[in-house]
Amino acid sequence: MASRAYILRVTFIFLLTFCFSGWAATTSPDLRPDHPKRYTVKKGDTLWDIAARFLRDPWRWPEIWQRNPAVKNPHLIYPGDVLVMNMVDGAPILKVLRRKVVKLSPAIYAQPLEDAIPSIPPSAIQPFLTSPLVVGKDGLRDAGHVAIGADGKIALGSYSVLYARGLPESDTKFYRILRPGKRFIDPLSGEFLGQQATHVGDAKMLTPGETARMEVVRSHGEVSPGDRMIPAPEDIGLPYFTPSAPEHNVRGFIIDAPGGVAEVGPLSVVVVSVGTRENIEPGHVLRILRDAGLARDPATRERFKIPEEESGLLMVFRAFEKVSYGLVMKAVRPIHVLDVVETP
């Protein structure tokens, strides 16, 4: 009988926990007490900044967005659009009043996509969208390489002519010059997570062949023999990010802050130790926690673990297999390498 009562009690607790978790996951985002009823979108706004005017957790804005099927690209808004907050069945709904499209016969002039309000500041992440790369242990082993500069030069810059070897036969005209850089290691398990390939320049093919003749068209530093070469990716525009929490619990660490700074704040780029193998995708939002370490109890003299405190939020904008690049969107205290990141 006691065993049956114990099973019933555990089952009840499990069901109660499950129901409460389900209820918590489906509750509407909390509104700021000072949120506006209407807001006119201005040039220079970002979706995150606009959402912060209405919500305590700006990354949850897609949950209150009322999509208008009559408007092409309803998830995009433009300067001049008016956002109106209403309550529908007790839940907040944010609706866009699209400014009128001006008809000039015989054509209809519509707002270009490039003028849409971005999710986050483009300038903060643009340099990181195509470089640096994160590669595996042998990721650049089979890539071509700079052999030597013309006239035997070994220090090369923009407009220098060089000879490259190991490039596969192709019609590729432009190549990215990379240098193996920082190795990323998981601070808890010691696992090798990848190696940063630093972008040091770009080169144009002049004469293909086993020993190809090329010209450096752009350099971000000194190009040297041994630097690796891969086909240059096409320039890409700023992706559109829809913020959301990962569908399952993830936990990792901030393992690098590009630039070598000791602490970072809002709109800083960081590298975290979770990636596509943990089902991390661009747009996923992670909570940042400060690990305050240990302290000594003054009464018992025992050492104890200080609870982690929330430091801010970041949004992933580029994901590799084992690491991701994220932009710090909110910081309530300085953020450091080895701070914890997890599902919010």
**CATH number of the domain encompassing residue 298:** 2.40.10
Please list the rounded mean pLDDT of every run of 10 residues in the chain (344 residues): 37 33 58 91 88 90 70 70 86 77 42 67 80 82 90 87 92 91 92 91 93 91 91 72 90 90 89 96 94 87 90 94 95 93 95
Shared domain for 107 and 136, answered yes or no, is no
Listed residues 117, 147, 182: the one ending a domain: 117
Final residue before a domain boundary, out of 231, 265, 291: 231
The boundaries of the domain holding residue 278 are 251-342
pTM: 0.76
Residues 218 and 267 in one domain: no
Instruction: Indicate whether 60 and 148 sit together in one domain.
Output: no
- The residue among 175, 193, 191, 186 whose CA lies nearest residue 139 is 193
**pLDDT value of residue 154:** 86
- Find the angle CA(194)-CA(199)-CA(201) to the nearest 5 degrees: 155
In terms of domains, do 48 and 84 share one? yes
* 149 plus 222 within the same structural domain: yes
- Does some domain include residue 65? yes
Pairing verdict, β 133-135 and 107-108: unpaired
**Rounded Cα–Cα distance for residues 162 and 146 (Å):** 7
Count CA atoms within 13 Å of residue 209 on its CB side: 7
Q: C-alpha 127: how far from its chain's center?
A: 12
